[in-house]
């Protein structure tokens, strides 16, 4: 904004001049009356002094009006500043309450989430432990079944070997019996031949 040499804005200076003229005009009738009474005695110097006094009065009134306006403006600004300061403190208090409430809610949410996570972790641990127990039982059953199968296989192999040995013994026995039977048959045949030959020789003699 543009200001004059006294630091005032043109609009403020114009308003101050108008107020000063209004204040100085109140004294003009008295001055004119005195001029009417002393027309013969008034000189140019008196006229100059009167104009100087009027100008000084106008400037003083102007300065006073300007000071009053500045004071009123400052007083209004100070009241507005105080009002804004009170509002700011009130809003700051509300913000603090909201922050505390938000912190409490966040802490409660975190605690709830922690409890939920802990509960799920415990349930998952129980499920895993149950699966491990079932696996251990199944593994033990599988090992038992494998051992039992191995024992059955060994028993079957043993039985097969015994059967083969028994069968071999039977075959040997059958072979011996057959050989013995064949020897007996051959002995009988020889005995018959011998008897037949003896009979024939006796007849011929």
Domain boundary assignment for the chain: 55-192
- The arithmetic mean of pLDDT across residues 128-135, rounded, is 90
Q: What is the pLDDT of residue 174?
A: 76
Average pLDDT of the chain? 73
With b meaning 16 or more CB within 10 Å and e meaning fewer, what string describes 137-152?
A: eeeeeeeeeeeeeeee
- Name the nearest CA neighbour of 34 among 55, 49, 17, 19: 49
Segment 89-108, tens digit of pLDDT: 888 888 888 888 888 888 88
Is residue 1 over pLDDT 70? no
pTM metric for this prediction: 0.32
With b meaning 16 or more CB within 10 Å and e meaning fewer, what string describes 53-78?
A: eeeeebeebbeebbeeeeeeeeeeee
Q: Determine the 3-state secondary structure of 141 from DSSP.
A: helix
Give long-range contacts, CB 8 A cutoff, 24+ apart: 197-201: none
User: Tell me, what DSSP letter sits at residue 7?
Assistant: S
């Amino acid at each position: 904004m543009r200001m004059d040499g006294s630091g005032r804005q043109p609009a403020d200076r114009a308003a101050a001049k108008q107020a000063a003229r209004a204040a100085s005009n109140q004294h003009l009738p008295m001055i004119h009356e005195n001029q009417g009474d002393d027309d013969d005695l008034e000189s140019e110097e008196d006229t100059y002094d009167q104009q100087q006094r009027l100008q000084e009065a106008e400037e003083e009134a102007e300065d006073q009006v300007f000071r009053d306006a500045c004071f009123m403006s400052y007083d209004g600004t100070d009241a507005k500043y105080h009002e804004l300061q009170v509002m700011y403190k009130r809003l700051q208090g509300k913000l603090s309450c909201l922050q505390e409430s938000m912190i409490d809610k966040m802490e409660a949410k975190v605690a709830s989430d922690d409890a939920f996570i802990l509960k799920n972790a415990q349930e998952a641990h129980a499920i895993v432990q149950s699966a491990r127990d079932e696996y251990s039982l199944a593994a033990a059953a599988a090992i038992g079944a494998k051992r039992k199968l191995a024992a059955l296989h060994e028993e079957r192999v043993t039985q097969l070997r015994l059967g083969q040995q028994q069968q071999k013994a039977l075959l040997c026995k059958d072979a011996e019996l057959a050989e013995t039977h064949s020897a007996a048959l051959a002995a009988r045949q020889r005995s018959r031949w011998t008897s037949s030959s003896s009979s024939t020789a006796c007849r011929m003699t």
